[in-house]
Amino acid sequence: MVLLRFAPSPTGPLHLGGLRMALYNHLFAKKHAGKWILRIEDTDMSRFVPGSVDGIRKSLEWAGLNYDYGPGQEGPHGPYFQSERLDLYKSYAGKLIESGHAYRCFCSPDTLSETKEKLARAGSSASYDRRCLHLTEEEVARKTRAGEKFVVRFNNAVRPNRQPASDLIFTKLKDAHASLATDPILLKSDQFPTYHLASIADDHEMGITHVMRGEEWLPSLPLHLDLYASLNIPPPIFAHLPILLNPDGSKMSKRHGDVQVIDFIKRGWEPEAVLNWLLLSGWGGHHSVPADPNASQKTPVPDSTQVLTMQEMIEKFDITSLTHRNTILEAAKLEYINKHHIMRQTRERGPDPKTGEITNIGLRSLAEKVHGQVKESFPTSQYTTIDMIEKAIMILEGRLTNIYDIPLHAPYLFIDPDLTSDKSKKLRSKIPDAEYDAVLDEVHSKLEEVPEAWEDTDLLGLLHASRDKLGMSTKNFMRVLRWKLTGMKDGPGLADVMDVLGRERTLARLKK
């Protein structure tokens, strides 16, 4: 069975790069009828940030990326915190020492620093002179009994027979052994493992078949493959993802608050739209190595703004369609995709959870999501009901890039417009008084004749008839009404606005 893992470090809030990694693991697992694990890589306790794990889990839950095994979702692969698996890493280090592929190093930090400087002055690219490799068993035993601290280093002079490096995305890989540190550390002096040892041990013990991780780990792939070969265990299939960049071209990191998932949650972006955006960032042409060797043909690559549901994302996902280039996340694409996800959701129908009646559940869900924010924006309004918010969403369709922007686009639906503001006065100054009086007199008198059944009235037809009677252009006619009803320069169709406001509120605002 296909089994993947998303393995973040609890060093702060989940950021977009991490969310994209979790998404790709989720999509690949679902497409291949597999599962995925959430594993917390917390072996570097100096960087641990309290609350990070809960934050990661909540972000994944918000996005609808439900892992099959992990914290709170126990299974056969636990424990899911690396800090609870230290005995496993010591065991693996012991196996490597016994086979001669690793050794204990007792050099102090000062000694290592002096050695590195000495090697550099001699023109060597080595970072360590490997002096502890030549200690006898008796010397190692004596130092250990004396309580001297040590690290375990990989002996990369002993090259095991291993498979050549390969990757589902970066298909053409050169041998990068020359760039590796001299005898990299596997187990630190505090007996916590480095990423190199811990990831190999965990991926093998958990039965991971495919490893997706960032491109920054690509230089370490030769070392990891050497470790697999030294332990005589098969490696998983690797896929290294190009990194995401900020708009200024800098690498996305947790130090930039605007890339944290929690900020997108607070801003009100639709989770499926954010996933859609991340999925399409960096898609390009197919590579020569298929992710599924049994596939008869490639899945067509969607364009960079195609609106996709989660099920559609699973169906279209193909890891070999990712480009090799680092990708800049474009905010404008998220706005476009989010707008269309809102429009799609407003048409979603299904049984009401309370009554079982088939209704517009998508629209109701959007209204409930933004209800608290609208009430907070207009605390004294009696019109901040779910029904009114639903109507606001419908008349703003195609204008809303974010559901939380309703108070910005249509405050006049919840409170009377402030016609005394500087901005409003400026708009009014552009309307001639004679034109203003004529339009308000005509439309007000016509609307007073409209019966109580406001919703059955052809308001648009009524407005057109009044405009024709006055012999005015549509632009001049409508700008008077829009200013008086909304206090704004533009917006949804005025007939729709009047319909939502209702008869009494519309007539009250049209009085001179």
pLDDT for 424-464, tens place per residue?
A: 999 999 999 999 999 999 999 999 998 778 888 999 999 99
pLDDT, tens digit, 9 for 90 and up, residues 128-169: 999 999 999 999 999 999 999 999 999 988 878 877 888 999
Closest CA to 428 of 444, 412, 417, 415: 417
How far apart are alpha carbons 68 and 28 in whole angstroms?
13
Over range 281-289, report the average pLDDT.
57
Q: Where in the chain is the domain with CATH 1.10.10.350?
A: 422-510
- Across the range 102-108, mean pLDDT stands at 97
List pLDDT tens digits, range 331-379: 899 999 999 999 999 999 888 878 888 889 999 999 999 999 999 999 9
Per-residue pLDDT band at 293 (split at 50, 70, 90)? very low
Return the CATH fold of 3-245. Rossmann fold (3.40.50)
Phi first, then psi: what are they for 168, rounded to 5°?
-70, -25
In contact, 307 and 276? CB cutoff 8 Å: yes
User: What's the whole-number mean pLDDT along residues 108-126?
Assistant: 93
In this predicted structure, the answer to whether residue 170 has a pLDDT above a threshold of 50 is yes
CATH 3.40.50.620 segments of the chain: 3-245
Q: Angle CA(343)–CA(348)–CA(351) in degrees, nearest 5? A: 155
Sequence-ordered strand ranges (E) for 163-279: 185-187, 210-214, 237-241, 244-245
Whether 174 shows a pLDDT value over 90: the answer reads no
Query: What local confidence, expressed as pLDDT, does residue 284 receive?
Result: 64
**Nearby residues of 100 by Cβ (< 8 Å), 6 or more positions away:** 155, 158
d(CA 189, CA 94): 14
171/285 Cα distance (integer angstroms)? 13
Specify the pLDDT at position 287: 39
CATH architecture of 422-510: Orthogonal Bundle (1.10)
Indicate the pLDDT class of residue 416, thresholds 50, 70 and 90.
very high
pTM of the entire structure? 0.89
Token reading at 472: 């005015």
**Consecutive H or E run containing 328:** strand 327-328
The whole-number average pLDDT for the span 461-473 is 96
pLDDT band at 171 (very low <50, low <70, confident <90, very high): confident
The residue type found at 13 is: P
Given a contact cutoff of 8 angstroms between Cβ atoms, the answer to whether 256 and 281 are in contact is no
